[in-house]
Amino acid sequence: MTRQNECKRCGTCCEKGGPALHTQDLPLIEKGVLSFEKFITIRKGELIHDPVSNSIEPVKTEFLKIRGIKDSWTCIFYDKTRNGCTIYDHRPLACKILKCWDTDDILGLAGRDLLSRLDIVKKGNPLRERLIEHEELFPCPDLKTISRTISRSSKKTVKKLERIINKDLAYRIRAIDEFNLSVSQELFYFGRPLFQLLTHLGFTARETSSGIKLRFPQAPSSSAK
């Protein structure tokens, strides 16, 4: 059997998710090829698949990732009808060096030179102060511990989480109103809402007149994307 040594344009990599962005990608942002609306911020503490250890681990340093199409992780620049990248000549570094048949280079890049929000939201932009404040007020909780103890969570713990997720939401709504942010911009400036991160652990979230209520899961899962 011949060993694969080139991209077969199957689209699997792009469907698994857009790339993380690195300092080498800054010119793409400066030239306007990539805009904030195309990013999602993965905040410190969120649980993701660590390609090096091949396990689900909390993120040590926040990073930016090209967001997915609708609710999927399929890269927003992937055109399924043509099995191709719509920004191929300007694709980010991680896409350029990715070789699915030989992952040494991409694993060598993992976790290095990552771009964060503060690298690209310039001083003087009022949203810079706002995202710093949001990070201080609503850091990502210890999701790994929560996922381990989720089935034993007391009512008090769930109530405490509910208070935090509702305050996080209220903060976002105020910022959305004040700065007229789209959903995409919100996901860049503030990352995913805390209630969404908890639902990935198995909690169910229900909207009520007094805010979002969380429920114990029947069958908790131990991982989140």
Backbone angles phi, psi at 191, to 5 degrees: 70, -170
Chosen residue from 65, 91, 117, 134 binding ligand SF4 by CB under 6 A: 91
Q: Which of 77, 188, 189, 190 binds ligand SF4 (CB under 6 A)?
A: 77
Residue among 112 and 152 whose Cβ is closer to ligand SF4: 112
78 makes contact with ligand SF4 (CB under 6 A): yes
- Beta strand 204-208 with 211-215: parallel, antiparallel or unpaired? antiparallel
Measure the CA dihedral 118/122/127/130, to 10°.
Answer: 50
Cβ-based nearer residue to ligand SF4, 84 or 126: 84
10/170 with CB nearer ligand SF4: 10
| Single residue of 18, 68, 191, 193 touching ligand SF4 by CB under 6 A | 18
* Residue 50: other Cβ atoms inside 10 A: 15
Cβ atoms of 77 and 86 closer than 8 Å: yes
Q: Evaluate whether 214 touches 198 at the Cβ level (below 8 Å).
A: yes
Place of tokens 């991209």: 7
Q: Which DSSP letter does residue 208 get?
A: E
| Nearest alpha-carbon partner for 77 in 35, 127, 123 | 35
131 part of the interface to ligand SF4, by CB under 6 A:
no
**In this chain, which of 20, 64, 95, 201 binds ligand SF4, going by CB under 6 A?**
95
Compute the C-alpha angle 190/196/201, nearest 5°.
Answer: 130
Residue 39 engages ligand SF4 in binding (rule: CB under 6 A): no
Stretch (H or E) spanning 175:
helix 155-179
**Residues binding ligand SF4: number (CB under 6 A):** 12
Q: How far is the CB of 104 from ligand SF4 (least distance, A)?
A: 19
Count other C-beta atoms under 10 Å from residue 188's C-beta: 24
Query: Which of 75, 127, 131, 140 is the binder for ligand SF4 (CB under 6 A)?
Result: 75
19 binds ligand SF4 (CB under 6 A): yes
Stretch that binds ligand SF4, among 86-94, 108-116, 123-131, 195-203 (CB under 6 A): 86-94
- 191 is a contact residue toward ligand SF4 (CB under 6 A): no
Query: What does the binding site for ligand SF4 look like in residue numbers (CB under 6 A)?
Result: 14, 18-19, 66, 75, 77-78, 85, 87, 91-92, 95
